[in-house]
Structure 1
Amino acid sequence: MAPAPAAVALITLGVDDLPRATRFYEAIGFRKSVSQSRDSVSFFRAGGVVLGLFDRRALAEDAGLPDGGRGGFGGITLARNLPSREAVDAAFSRALEAGARPLQAPREVFWGGYCGYVADPDGHPLELAWNPFFPLRDDGTIDLPM
């Protein structure tokens, strides 16, 4: 049997308040799966992966890790690539209106693109970016050349 392809299928964020986190991600354009979400977890289509929201303490316990709580940088960011600088500006404003905290205002960046960062209501950093080197498909996923 051939090995399964290397693919990230699901990204789960630990959150302190599931209803609040769910409302935030819906407000910035993610569509919740009603059939798969439960009172304890929300699932969203996120391009080629699924984004899950789950109680932070329960997620830490499930992974066998201590819950460090909210605060410092956890070593990961989510990125939403957009088709233009203007789309980045609009997404940044929409995220702030939905309850995000600004981290870095959209700006030209050293690698040749344009991006800004917000923190979702649980402090997870979300990059909003236009990258001229990563063409986007119609569904918003990156057409990554091999």
Structure 2
Amino acid sequence: MDQRISFVTLAVRDLDASRAFYLDGLGWKAALDVPGEVLMIQAGEHLVLSLWVSHEFEAEVGPIRRGEGVAPITLSHNVRTEAEVDEILATARAAGAEPVGEAVQREWGGYTGYFGDPDGFRWEIATNPGPIGQVVLP
């Protein structure tokens, strides 16, 4: 098996809200948009973010665990500068993102902040000065 990820699929409650947030708010473009079912966004050269209506997701994958707290996953978007981190966080908040916290300098040397999408999935916007941080930059 090749060491790679092709799709990240998130089950969403309201596809219209997700569409408005990601396409209209963040300015991303749909690669595939099936109203009432799924929205796919090419998020990298060989990576697709798939936002799938939760009942369709459950029909194929199985029951979703529900309860208090946030989903045990974060999605990260790395950039080169701290100014870019702040700018993206401001754009996300203007698009209606749930602010989780302002960006801060981390003890490991990076600068990161978080926001939540319409379903509460946490996005980390970060600079990572280490070698692994450089691997993910375009």
- Partner of 2:34: helix, strand, or coil? coil
1:94 aligns with 2:54: no
Q: Aligned equivalents of 2:70 and 2:63: distance in 1?
A: 16
Matches within 5 A, 1:26-41: 26=23, 27-33=25-31, 36-39=32-35, 40-41=37-38
Where do 5+ consecutive residues of structure 1 fail to align?
Answer: none
**TM-score (norm: length of structure 2):** 0.87
Where do 5+ consecutive residues of structure 2 fail to align?
Answer: none
Q: Which has the higher helix share?
A: 2
- Name the residue aligned to 2:11: 14
Q: Aligned equivalents of 1:113 and 1:20: distance in 2?
A: 31
Q: Aligned equivalents of 2:71 and 2:119: distance in 1?
A: 12
Q: CA RMSD in A?
A: 1.7
Equivalent position amino acid for 1:129 in 2: A
The number of aligned residues is 133
Percent identity of paired positions between Structure 1 and Structure 2: 32
Deviations for 1:59-97, whole angstroms, at most 9, x for unmatched residues?
Answer: 13321224516x412211000001100000000000000
Equivalent position amino acid for 2:21 in 1: F
Q: Which has the higher strand share?
A: 2
Deviations for 1:125-145, whole angstroms, at most 9, x for unmatched residues?
Answer: 000101111126xxxx447xx
For residue 113 of structure 1, the aligned residue among 110, 113, 122 is 110
